[in-house]
Structure 1
Amino acid sequence: MSGGVLSCGVALLLALTSVSAVQMLYSIDGFKDIDFGSSVPEHSLMLLHWFANTVQINANGVISLNFDLIRGDYGAHHYGNYERVLNSRPWGYQYYTIGNVHRDTSRQLPSYVRNNQGEFVAGNRDRIIIRVQEQNTGQGALRRVDQVYITQHYEHHGSMYDPNHTYQINTNLLRQIRGFSVSELRNRYGRNTGIYNWYNQQIYRPQSNSTWQTNRQNDCDDCCRVLAFCFVLLLVVFAFISFNAYHRK
């Protein structure tokens, strides 16, 4: 009995500390639903356009790369997922991130991706993350992609990625993006989704200190409630185990 209660307690604690599931975007119209531009940097559109038109997608939806991740082509480098933004990778798979325009090899990216950072609110924070399957086939060692994500770094937390601004990209969406030119994609799903209004609000109507403090206090209160619940749960489990142990004597 006590073992069952303890297992339940551990399961609840793991559930409380687990990462929320990343939302999947199946269609390009999903950009409207997430308010693309304020939720996700508009520059991610440019990265996705480049990626969709660079990789190979066969009739079965299998994505294959034609560039070398290990060599760091297009600014790619290994991503360890240490902050658990994504699910733990299965054996034989690796995560890689692409899109850092400050890396030397990012000069391979087209100019509309590399040279337009100044007009985007988020700067150099947005990235594509891919999960690739390791294959011992020489040149095809890291070629097959089974998951694609767009994400961004926190604004003031170094290289940590923000799980609330991370979305998985369906293969069908990549195919849809291929049908748009750069200007069409930006005009339809970038400029018209509120990014420039959001940008103007930050310049002309900056958030007041009181509002910022209120939001920060709300976040702290939520964290305190979760910690308090975990503490109470541990006390209940400990008390139950002690009670059973006492009556068995």
Structure 2
Amino acid sequence: MVKGTLNELSQLKQSGFGQPEPRHGLNLLYWFAREYILFDFGEIKPKFNPVFGEFGFHKFNNRIEDEDHIVPIQNLPYYEVGNLNYSNADKLPNYVRQKYSHYNPDSNKDRIIVHQDGNGKLNRVYVTEHSDQRHFDSSKTYRVSNGLLLIIKNMSREDFLSKVSNTGNRTNNQQPFYYQQHSVYQSYSTPVNHTPSPRPPPPAEDSSWCTIL
């Protein structure tokens, strides 16, 4: 079953959803909150009906797995989005798709699941991830509150990522986290056995100088 409800950015960060790169869940959630939904007196209305399959939405089959359901049993349908291999998923913005690789399952494991009521509104929104190619992980499934979605909707993507990413919001010119972990000196073009030149000592008269690693 659902592990809990995410009400704040800090809770989203602590959940680990969509992290680390190349996972796309955080960007997917930002797109969903910013571009896909509208708020109508506190209720969520989709700009596009998920039944028509825009952006790769398709019906979610709430299968019984280990005598449990990923999300609560409801008479009305659930829909999921986030499978970058699915039909029409190429209409998602580039910032959602840019890290995707067919050879790396982690780049396509995150999903958003929504429950649509009889009036076409989305009364439940969940985030989850695949535990393998077929099954979702109930211990990594969370409901996302309307309040948190509204917070995200009113943020820039850069600000959102900087507040919820456990590795910080890295620009395109910075090294990937893998390289940051292994060496702060080694660049893409520097041989592994290269010994960096010593840095010059700081000028004696400038007490504000410091070594930047």
Q: TM-score, normalised by structure 1?
A: 0.59
| Paired position in structure 2 for 1:186 | 161
- Using the alignment, how far apart are the partners of 1:67 and 1:38 within structure 2? 27
- Check 1:109–1:38 CA distance in 2 against 1; reply closer, same or farther (3 A cut): closer
1:57 equivalenced with 2:39 (yes/no): yes
Paired residue for 2:90? 107
1:147-201 deviation line (CA, Å, top 9, x unaligned): 00010111xx3221111111110000001111222222222212537xxxxx749
* Residue-by-residue CA offset, 1:89-134 (whole Å, 9 max, x unaligned): 1x3x11100111112301221111122335x982101000000113
Aligned length: 168
Q: How does 1:7-86 map to 2 (within 5 A)?
A: 19=1, 21-36=2-17, 38=19, 43-53=24-34, 54-59=36-41, 61-82=42-63, 83=65, 84-86=69-71
State whether structure 2 residue 146 is matched by structure 1 residue 171.
yes
Is 41-50 or 79-88 further displaced after alignment? 41-50
Measured after TM superposition, the shift of residue 58 of structure 1 is 1.7
2:210 is aligned to none
**Greater fraction helix:** 1
Q: In structure 2, how many angstroms separate the alpha carbons of the residues matched to 1:166 and 1:108?
A: 25
Instruction: Give the partner amino acid of 2:11.
Output: G
| Distance in structure 2 (CA, Å) of the matches to 1:95 and 1:40 | 27
> What is the match of residue 144 of structure 1?
121
Q: What is the aligned counterpart of 2:72 among 87, 107, 111?
A: 87
For structure 1, list consecutive stretches of 5 or more residues without a partner in the other structure: 1-18, 136-142, 194-198, 205-249
For the residue of structure 1 that corresponds to 2:88, the secondary structure is helix
Normalised by the length of structure 2, the TM-score is: 0.69
Distance (whole Å) between structure 1 residues aligned to residue 22 and residue 62 of structure 2: 21
Structure 2: 5+ residue stretches without partners: 169-176, 183-213
Larger Rg: 1
RMSD over equivalenced CA pairs, Å = 2.9
